[in-house]
């Protein structure tokens, strides 16, 4: 028999997967397992219900884990969080581009900017700074 046990509206970290001698057998998930399952739901287009079903977890439990993950509470309290830094784009006159901004021979590199639902911008070494300003400016609109 497979059933689900939810105590106190999603606070329980275990689910009932069967019974042995009349007692429920529970699966206790580690913080790493919970984080892995939550991260699967954060992929664009992912179905929380499908991810939950594929991992043998009730969807409501996954919603609770996502809440805890976002807030950094419960099992997610001890993790280090990536912090976003504020970015300000300002308009600069073309005269500000100096020889120092010109690409160095033999150097390579690129910048990748992903805006979920809007696009992916890749800036390769040696691209015209005016073009970069125009593209980034259009994304701000």
Question: Among residues 14, 15, 11, which one has the least CA distance to residue 3?
Answer: 15
Distance (Å, whole) CA 93 – CA 100: 16
What does the pLDDT read at residue 105? Answer: 57
Do 62 and 100 lie in one domain? The reply is: no
Q: Does 32 fall in a domain?
A: yes
Convert the pLDDT of each residue in 56-94 to its tens digit.
Answer: 999 999 999 999 998 888 888 876 656 677 777 777 665
Do 72 and 101 lie in one domain? The reply is: no
The strand ranges marked E within the chain are 14-20, 23-28, 110-115, 119-124
Number of domains in the chain: 2
What does the pLDDT read at residue 119? Answer: 73
Q: Does 5 fall in a domain?
A: no
Question: Among residues 65, 86, 69, 70, which one has the least CA distance to residue 15?
Answer: 65
Q: Does 84 fall in a domain?
A: no
What does the pLDDT read at residue 101? Answer: 52
Q: Does 128 fall in a domain?
A: yes
What does the pLDDT read at residue 122? Answer: 81
Q: Does 4 fall in a domain?
A: no
Residues in the chain predicted with pLDDT less than 70, given as ranges, are: 1-24, 79-83, 92-107, 116-118, 140-141
Do 67 and 104 lie in one domain? The reply is: no
Q: Does 31 fall in a domain?
A: yes
Do 28 and 57 lie in one domain? The reply is: yes
Q: Does 98 fall in a domain?
A: yes
Residue 129 belongs to domain spanning: 94-140
Do 36 and 70 lie in one domain? The reply is: yes
Q: Does 82 fall in a domain?
A: no
């Amino acid at each position: 028999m497979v059933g689900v046990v939810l105590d106190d509206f999603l606070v329980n970290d275990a689910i009932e997967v069967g019974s042995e001698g009349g007692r429920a057998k529970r699966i206790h998930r580690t913080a790493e397992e919970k984080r892995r399952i939550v991260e699967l739901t954060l992929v664009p287009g992912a179905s929380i219900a499908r991810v939950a079903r594929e991992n043998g977890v009730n969807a409501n439990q996954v919603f609770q884990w996502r809440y805890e993950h976002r807030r950094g509470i419960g099992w997610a309290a001890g993790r280090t969080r990536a912090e976003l830094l504020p970015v300000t784009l300002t308009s600069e006159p073309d005269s500000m581009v100096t020889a120092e901004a010109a690409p160095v021979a033999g150097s390579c590199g690129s910048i990748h900017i992903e805006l979920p639902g809007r696009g992916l911008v890749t800036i390769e070494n040696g691209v015209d700074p005016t073009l970069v300003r125009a593209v980034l400016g259009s994304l701000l609109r």
